Structure 1
Amino acid sequence: MYRAAAATLLFASLVLGQQVGTNTPEKHPSMPIEVCTAPGSCTKENTEVVLDANWRWTHVTTGYTNCYTGSSWNATACPDGETCAANCAIDGADYEKTYGITTPSSGALKLKFVTKNDNGQNVGSRVYLMASADKYRMFNLLNKEFTFDVDVSNLPCGLNGAVYFSEMDEDGGLSRFSGNKAGAKYGTGYCDSQCPQDIKFINGAANVEGWGGDSGDSGAGKYGTCCAEMDIWEANMDATAYTPHVCSVNEQTRCEGADCGAGDDRYSSLCDKDGCDFNSFRLGNQEFYGPEKTVDTTKPFTIVTQFVTDDGTDTGTLKSINRFYVQDGKVIPNSQVVVEGVDPVNNISDEFCTQQKTAFGDNNYFGTLGGMAAMGKSLEKMVLVLSVWDDHAVSMNWLDSNFPNDADPSKPGVSRGRCDPEAGLPAKVEAAHPDASVIYSNIKLGAINSTFAAN
């Protein structure tokens, strides 16, 4: 929900292009996963991760001149979208030195929030899981469970360590769009349910038309890039939510105008930006998640998410999204809802979403665009995204504080966490917590009840 796209997180010279430069070799960090058929019966896959193209240095193909600086396009190189795509190249990434992305052990990925480097600093990052050097690892999640370990003990209020799936193209749009010469190998083709308009290249062309920016490094163009999204994990050490978001389109799709859902057009968008979220704090259990709570965020734990179909098959209709945790060898069921008008369930279903939206006075755009059945169709072909970010739009208040800010916190659904509403102001959190980080590890996919063990 309310995800600020990458442009607000970059330092001035890191932008997206579509040709391939040769100044820095691209070497994807290794991050193997396991696929399981039964408890203890798992097979290792030698997967790796790739940095999103929006974070990369982009320069003219004939030299080192930036194609984008601050919040402005290079008018000579980029008079229009197609010409810009032909003139501009993206380079390989120095993952550790420039972006603070490291692999502390096999199957583990650490994302540092702020990294000082030769060009100034980098803020946040987003990577995708690769099956090979030039293809994203595609996931079919129906009738499966997805499990990983996380350490958010160094991730304070106002930040978001996010693990989610987006309905991106396997090759990053390389085959669909002739202007894209870089493809998945260089992290192209991003989309999500917010239909972000600050992605600089969409469908193989620069998002130059109508581009406007501030004095920093953010901006937005005429077009956005939309697709369904399943937020497995959006969290810091004080708050968490998991949220399906559906769309009326079934692949990465460029939007413009009302279809992008900006401002008052939010519920005219191609996608459901709100989603149907399960946030334990928002749903009435304020002692379930956090430091020294039931799920103790001062130490690592395992997150298990199950995608249950109506007939128990891989081709059935998505019925519910179940969640539980494992910590210190103990299985911890997800918290139950404690909100008047909502059944005391601990998972996401169409019934839960309808009741929650009514109780909170929210627009059930999730149901309007097809609800769980639509989400299930999108879950057949998803790309895994891992990131850490701060929120230039609403300071992460939708996750860990009161939102909307001017609403009465005692009103059902307004209070989402214990955090100070100002804790997530980008300038404040970047200055106060530059060394913040999140560690993801031990990713597993498998049959229901196959990916975890407990004492």
Structure 2
Amino acid sequence: MFPKLALTALSFLAIVSAQQVGTNTAENHPKLSWQKCTKSGCVTQGNAAITLDANWRWVHNIGGYNNCYTGQSWDKSLCPDGKTCVNNCALEGADYAGTYGISTNGNSLTLKFVQPNSNGKNVGSRVYLMNSDSKYEIFKLLNQEFTFDVDVSQLPCGLNGALYFSEMDADGGSAKFPANKAGAKYGTGYCDSQCPRDIKFINGEANSVGWTGSSGDPNSGKGNYGACCNEMDIWEANSVSTAYTPHPCSATGLSRCTGAACGTNDRYATVCDPDGCDFNSYRLGDTNFYGKGMKVDTSKKITVVTQFITNTGTASGTLTEIRRLYVQNGVTIQNSKVNIPGLAAGDSITGAFCDSQKSVFKDKTQFQAKGGLAAMGKSAGRGMVLVMSIWDDYDANMLWLDSSYPTTANPSTPGVKRGTCATNSGKPSDVENSAAGASVTFSNIRFGDIGTTYK
């Protein structure tokens, strides 16, 4: 996954995350059921729910209505420094449907891209699956299978309906950092392999020092700190292209970076692999596999199966392969085969595949430098939080997913073309108007023993 720094939150003024808890709006998590599966069958987890990421929530002074952060700026009287800010600012509950365009129905979650509301509009969102009212569900992926249904038919070039895992703390970091009173209930503790610096509170402190407004996004900026952690991208997709990608890190859990260690001068100078080892069928030479009317038809609902294979066939083994299958119209579809000269014709992510891909595409070998599949497997064994989001990309217009990227490279060079979208597509200023009605729906989440979550 490329930078998510441009995830656009509410377009009205009260946009920030915080650590204290406000009392103006009750936080009621929308229910979202899912299933745990074994060879004996699947059991519905009916009490599960989702919570909205803290970066989208309204934050104001405790006992009042003054914003702690407005547009791209912190209120210096409330937030003269990071530690004082968490004591002065309260994080409110969310009106999921009315303000953010987020709705659930049984085992189905729909995220709208643009949601008009009484304060203007909300653009994009990010949510987490909850185990209880105050803790995220933790998934241990080794020797397991994760399956879900998805509808990306309404996602054009430039949008991304993403489902992935991040190695976040189950409580959102509240035990490690007591200043964080909001915890997982209010969506705190986010991190990923891009070491994002737009996270406004990290490790119980405001990220206000050195904060600079984004040149493109009127409601975002970057501070001196970033939030790094292992990330397993199960699904990054629109109706044109898709990729699944492990991103290992040398650190365990959330690691707060600062300065150059956040990749400010060199994006590869962090504890994580920002590029990952991606399997994008189009980029790997099968240009007729995924898309509307193709073998995996994105005009219809798709079942996506991801298997985490270990060398011992047990949860204590070393991750050696990440397999992908699709099911549509009752038919199991094997993943596409690599069709690039010099690359073996495999259909899954293995160490050999990643070594060959990096060599042939002449990509940086940060994946190997950060431990490759073995390191990703250690994170998967410790446990990760399920994240679902819809977003547009102020940094690279999503061209790394669905177009030719980098745009300065020759499109005929192996690895450059990732989809059929034009290189001038995906600009947030365009898609937030032309695709305002877009949405993604995730449903029927199943997790368990390999071979038990799909038919």
How far does residue 340 in structure 1 lie from its aligned partner after superposition? 1.3
Number of matched pairs: 450
Partner of 2:177: 177
Q: Whole-Å Cα distance in 1 between the matches of residues 147 and 24 of structure 2? A: 37
> Is the contact made by 2:9 and 2:15 (CA closer than 8 Å) also made in structure 1?
no
Partner of 1:87: 88
Partner of 1:276: 277
How far does residue 171 in structure 1 lie from its aligned partner after superposition? 0.1
Q: Whole-Å Cα distance in 2 between the matches of residues 152 and 8 of structure 1? A: 20
The answer to whether the aligner puts 1:444 opposite 2:442 as a matched pair is: no
SS of equivalent to 2:374: helix
How far does residue 422 in structure 1 lie from its aligned partner after superposition? 2.4
What whole-Å deviation, never above 9, does each CA across 1:247-289 have from its counterpart, x for those lacking one?
Answer: 01011110012221234x2222110000000000000000000
Partner of 1:405: 407
SS of equivalent to 1:97: helix
Task: Return 5+ residue gaps in structure 1 as ranges.
Answer: none
How far does residue 183 in structure 1 lie from its aligned partner after superposition? 0.1
What whole-Å deviation, never above 9, does each CA across 1:196-231 have from its counterpart, x for those lacking one?
Answer: 001100001000110000471121000000000000
Partner of 1:98: 99
- Give the counterpart of 2:241 among 234, 239, 242: 239
Q: Whole-Å Cα distance in 1 between the matches of residues 281 and 235 of structure 2? A: 13
Q: Whole-Å Cα distance in 2 between the matches of residues 92 and 5 of structure 1? A: 23
Q: Whole-Å Cα distance in 2 between the matches of residues 303 and 297 of structure 1? A: 12
Partner of 1:385: 387
How far does residue 408 in structure 1 lie from its aligned partner after superposition? 0.5
The answer to whether the aligner puts 1:212 opposite 2:207 as a matched pair is: no
> In structure 1, what residue type is equivalent to 2:132?
S
Partner of 2:65: 64
Partner of 1:315: 316
Higher mean displacement: 295-304 or 11-20: 11-20
> Is the contact made by 1:9 and 1:389 (CA closer than 8 Å) also made in structure 2?
no
> Is the contact made by 1:6 and 1:55 (CA closer than 8 Å) also made in structure 2?
no
> Is the contact made by 2:150 and 2:441 (CA closer than 8 Å) also made in structure 1?
yes
Q: Whole-Å Cα distance in 2 between the matches of residues 268 and 155 of structure 1? A: 33
Q: Whole-Å Cα distance in 2 between the matches of residues 10 and 76 of structure 1? A: 23
Partner of 1:295: 296
How far does residue 6 in structure 1 lie from its aligned partner after superposition? 6.0
> In structure 1, what residue type is equivalent to 2:225?
Y
> In structure 2, what residue type is equivalent to 1:198?
D
Partner of 1:134: 134
Task: Return 5+ residue gaps in structure 2 as ranges.
Answer: none
How far does residue 61 in structure 1 lie from its aligned partner after superposition? 0.4
SS of equivalent to 1:429: helix
SS of equivalent to 1:379: helix
Partner of 1:260: 262
Partner of 1:414: 416
> TM-score, length-normalised on structure 2?
0.98
How far does residue 7 in structure 1 lie from its aligned partner after superposition? 5.5
> In structure 2, what residue type is equivalent to 1:65?
N
Q: Whole-Å Cα distance in 2 between the matches of residues 301 and 208 of structure 1? A: 42
Partner of 1:163: 163
Q: Whole-Å Cα distance in 2 between the matches of residues 135 and 269 of structure 1? A: 28
> TM-score, length-normalised on structure 1?
0.98
What whole-Å deviation, never above 9, does each CA across 1:301-351 have from its counterpart, x for those lacking one?
Answer: 100000000010010000100001000000000000011111100000110
Q: Whole-Å Cα distance in 2 between the matches of residues 394 and 249 of structure 1? A: 26
How far does residue 10 in structure 1 lie from its aligned partner after superposition? 3.2
Partner of 1:189: 189
Q: Whole-Å Cα distance in 2 between the matches of residues 345 and 79 of structure 1? A: 55
Moved over 6 A (4+): none
Q: Whole-Å Cα distance in 2 between the matches of residues 355 and 258 of structure 1? A: 30
- Give the counterpart of 1:426 among 425, 428, 431: 428
> In structure 2, what residue type is equivalent to 1:78?
C
Partner of 2:117: 117
Q: Whole-Å Cα distance in 2 between the matches of residues 244 and 129 of structure 1? A: 20
Matches within 5 A, 1:318-397: 318-380=319-381, 381-397=383-399
> Is the contact made by 2:17 and 2:59 (CA closer than 8 Å) also made in structure 1?
yes
Q: Whole-Å Cα distance in 1 between the matches of residues 214 and 370 of structure 2? A: 34
What whole-Å deviation, never above 9, does each CA across 1:180-207 have from its counterpart, x for those lacking one?
Answer: 1100000000000000001100001000
> Is the contact made by 2:310 and 2:319 (CA closer than 8 Å) also made in structure 1?
yes
Q: Whole-Å Cα distance in 1 between the matches of residues 311 and 361 of structure 2? A: 27
> In structure 2, what residue type is equivalent to 1:431?
N
Between the aligned residues of both structures, percent identity stands at 58
